[in-house]
Amino acid sequence: MGQSNLHQVRFPPHYSFRLRLFALLAASATLSAACGAGGAGPSDNTLLVGAVYPLSGSQAEGGRQELAGLRTALELAGGRQLKLQVEPVQTPEGARAAVDRLIDRSHASIIVGTYGSTLAEAAAARADERHVIYWETGAVADLVTQHRRYVFRTVATGSSLGRIAVNFTSRVLLPAAGLQPTQARAVIVNVSDVYGRAVADGEEQLAAATGIPVVSRIQYDPNAYSATDIAQQVWASQADYLWDVSYIADGIDIWQAILARGVKLRAAVGTSSAFCMAAFGRTLGAQAVGVFAADKPDDQVNPDALSPAARELLGRAKAAYAKQQLGSDMPIPAVAGFVGGWTLLHEVLPYVKGQVTPDAVREAAYRLDEPAGTSINGGGVKFAGPGELDAGQNLRAPAVVGQWQAVDTMKAVYPAAFARAKPIVP
């Protein structure tokens, strides 16, 4: 069953008479509660935006946080009436079906989602086939936007997360160890899906360019794996550095198995959906201390990386997010959801010329040009243009490396502009 929320979005003074009238009519509309089979029909004057997120299952924590960030953006955007229709999903097949329901039953022309890359790949592909805007707020697999016309993403790609893990190793960890790139040995462990391959491919390619030997790449099925066997392969590689691309349950299992096997590493740098997650630090406690993780920024971004307006907006976002009873801080998925929602509702929709159609939204999105530091995560927004391989990808989406520096305490340590602490390197 779908979930419905009514919000308002501001429109600037130069907006067309037609859409001003649309907004005026919407302001007087009465919205009833809607389920997955209901929604905005042709007679409904609200703008319906669909949302597809995992709210149960293994990705539920991140999905709920990202959706809460989106809802926070809706609350702060203000202005005209907008209905958010949420379709909870757990599988790629479910995500694809949810897109069809939102289009066929609710007449959505914009769909937002999805936190998880396997879900995003399926949902984005279907929305693009149906010529409906798909606005990705958190999933990182590169394929989500590639070769698609109606798909936009506001966060960093998986390959960019992989590259920052390698850059951090090359520019920070190797000098600290007194090693040249060719003297180091790296091992990659990654899930064998669109997310894992995107990050690991980025790592492997940049490692080759910087001269760091990748002595082994261990791929595994997150639904059928042996953490003990993976740890044994890492031990046999005699690597100095581990670059891990896992989900939370398997990531925890693998790291515990590596510690149990007594693998001697100079450092481990995880990415995105495992090592950076609060559940990783919460579950492992002292066993997580010292581990690094590359991902999108959370709400602890260095204030110096933000414009004054972005700092003020971050403060308001944190206060509004806290009201949703998911914690006083905004974790990585929540910040990603907010940035995606704010960009759509505050920076794109108000500048649509004429009727809000997928093509009109697409044109407005491509006109957006916000410099670094204007988003609450320290990034900006400029989408790769039509005709480019990654058309619709935000080219100014930031990525950072954090470190668990104490039990349940992660600090951003790289790049310098985003750092809240110096990396602790043995």
* Contact status, residue 213 vs residue 179, Cβ threshold 8 Å: no
What's the mean pLDDT in 220-244?
Answer: 97
Per-residue model confidence (pLDDT) at position 382: 98
In the chain, the N- to C-terminal Cα span, in Å, equals 51
Among 344, 367, 390, residue at a domain's last position: 367
Look at residues 84, 191, 193, 153 and name the one whose alpha carbon lies nearest to residue 336.
Answer: 153
274-317 residue pLDDT tens: 999 989 999 999 999 999 999 999 999 999 999 999 999 999 99
Q: Average pLDDT over the chain, rounded to whole?
A: 90
- Give the pLDDT of residue 215: 98
Q: What is the tally of structural domains in the chain?
A: 2
Q: Are residues 51 and 128 in the same domain?
A: yes
The tens digit of pLDDT for each residue in 46-67 reads: 899 999 999 999 899 999 999 9
Co-location of 69 and 164 in the same domain: no
Contact 196, 245 (CB under 8 A): yes
Q: Are residues 149 and 216 in the same domain?
A: no
Provide the residue range defining the domain that includes 179. Answer: 159-295+400-418
pLDDT in tens, 59-103: 999 999 999 999 999 999 876 678 999 999 999 999 999 999 999
Model pLDDT, residue 6: 53
Assess whether 268 and 359 both reside in one domain.
Answer: no
Instruction: Give the separation between CA 334 and CA 332, rounded to whole angstroms.
Output: 6
Kindly state whether residue 63 falls inside one of the protein's structural domains: yes
Is residue 248, in this structure, part of any structural domain at all? yes
- What digits encode the pLDDT tens for the residues 348-397? 999 998 889 999 999 999 999 999 999 999 999 999 999 899 999 999 99
Cβ-Cβ contacts under 8 Å for 71 (sequence gap 6 or more): 5, 7, 84, 324, 337, 341
Tell how many helices (H) and how many strands (E) occur in the chain: 13, 13
Task: Confirm whether 173 is domain-assigned.
Answer: yes
Closest CA to 124 of 106, 105, 151: 151
C-alpha dihedral sign at 384, 386, 390, 394: positive
Q: What's the predicted TM-score (pTM) here?
A: 0.88
Q: Write the pLDDT tens digit of every residue in 195-218.
A: 999 999 999 999 999 999 999 999
Q: Are residues 15 and 100 in the same domain?
A: yes
* pLDDT greater than 90 at residue 25: no
Look at residue 424 and tell me if it is in a domain: no
- Taking the mean position of all CA atoms in its chain, how far away is CA 42? 33
For position 58, which CATH number holds?
Answer: 3.40.50.2300
Mean pLDDT over residues 319-325, rounded?
92
pLDDT, residue 324, reads: 86
Q: What is the pLDDT of residues 388-424, one digit of tens each?
A: 999 999 999 999 999 999 999 999 999 999 999 999 9
| Residue whose C-alpha is closest to residue 298's, from 322, 343, 331, 329 | 331
pLDDT over 90, % of the chain: 83
Which residues are within 8 A (CB) of 43 and not within 5 positions of it... i.e. 6 or more apart?
Answer: none
Q: Is the pLDDT of residue 185 over 80?
A: yes
CB 139 within 8 A of CB 273: no
The alpha-helical segments, DSSP class H, found in 78-224 are 92-104, 117-129, 158-168, 174-177, 194-210
Predicted confidence at residue 327, as pLDDT, reads 85
